[in-house]
Amino acid sequence: MEPRTTRATLQTVADEVGVSRTTVSNAYSRPDQLNSALRERILEAARRLGYPGPDAAARSLRRGRAGAIGLVFTETLSYAFADPYSVGFLRGVAEVAESSGTGLLLIPMPPGTDEAETAMRDAVVDGFCLYCMPVRHPAKKVIQARGLPVVTTDENDDPSIPHVGIDERASARLAAEHLTRLGHRRVAVMVDHVVEPGRAGRATVEEQRDSECAVLHGRLGGYREVLEEAGVDWANVPVVAAGRNSRPAAAAAAAHLLDVADRPTAVLATGDVLALGVLDACEQRGLVPGRDISVAGFDDVPEAARARLTTVRQPMGEKGRRAARLLLDPRDPGEAVPRVQLPTELVVRATTGPVPR
């Protein structure tokens, strides 16, 4: 039987070099306190003994600062780098974090995961940014119980949590009003999902009401207000879920809107990726956007301009920057909870036009 190996520790290295534990610790965390020759002797001994260095989490706790922002979102990790809106938001957060010497920890919480509480409790961060999380997500209670700074991007979240975002309802009205001014009354809506992620198809009014997605509630609410003001019964408006926020999924789900006898004259999509998928479906059927059917999106991601998509522009990068600043510069006790509302604007391009004759 081979002899059991003992894991090298700070004390092991100290004994090997003949110095104190504090001196070994300073070689890693306070190198200016040692002369270069002694520090190199310590590091060489550590390498030889297999000592990896002080535990990063323990050092963070002793300093009282982790040096990282925790970004929590209810999607897969790869989604954060694939979705153009998420990329813009993340870039904004990263710019501020980088300028302050702070890291960024991405914490995905896709539906169906059971590790939410453990992940939130164990995350070594200085604060949390809640990015598009359901209102009653179980991780929120764990986060708030930790007493760290928190900021959310959902406007109807807990009012005690600082918020950075847009007026979703008013912004959605911009796109809907544009279409009704053009004479459209037979309008459909494309969303990623309503209640159950992954399920595609038409969503009932009850399912729309039961959704816990604050962004969806705001945007559908804006569309509904404008259409009802124009005399349209919302119960007759097809709201179709693609199942997920992807261009191919939206193109497939668009069959529910385009391959019917009473095809809508216009489609409002709650995001540009969905709108681009509808444009793909139109191209497959020989329909010319802006002439045969109008399509409007939301966000103004880079691809929207190339596709000449009419959309609502929101400041994705600025939203991320403002959220990061609130986390890194928390308010003083007694100061009002920040509620930052950023501006939006309608960008009219070629995919919308008058009702076809």
- Helix axes 10-17 and 36-49, enclosed angle (nearest 10): 120
Residues paired with 164 in a beta bridge:
340
Rg of the Cα trace of the chain?
A: 26
Domains of the chain: 10-54 (1.10.260.40), 68-165+316-341 (3.40.50.2300), 168-314 (3.40.50.2300)
Tokens of 283: 């191209």
Residues paired with 267 in a beta bridge:
188, 295
pLDDT confidence of residue 186 = 97
List C-alpha distances in Å: 7 to 4, 13, 52, 57: 10, 11, 10, 18
Residues 284 and 313 sit within 8 Å (Cβ to Cβ): no
Residues 253 and 241 sit within 8 Å (Cβ to Cβ): yes
- State how far Cα 75 lies from the chain centre: 8
Render each residue's pLDDT in the chain as its tens digit; 357 residues.
344 456 788 889 999 999 998 898 888 777 778 898 998 999 899 889 888 776 544 444 444 467 899 999 888 888 889 999 999 999 999 999 998 889 999 988 876 555 666 777 788 898 999 988 877 777 787 888 888 889 999 876 678 889 999 999 999 999 999 999 999 999 999 999 887 778 888 999 888 988 878 899 999 999 999 999 999 999 999 999 999 999 999 999 999 999 999 999 999 999 999 999 999 999 999 999 999 999 999 999 999 999 999 999 999 999 999 999 999 887 777 788 899 999 999 999 999 999 998
A 10 A CB-CB count for 100 gives: 14
Residues paired with 273 in a beta bridge:
none
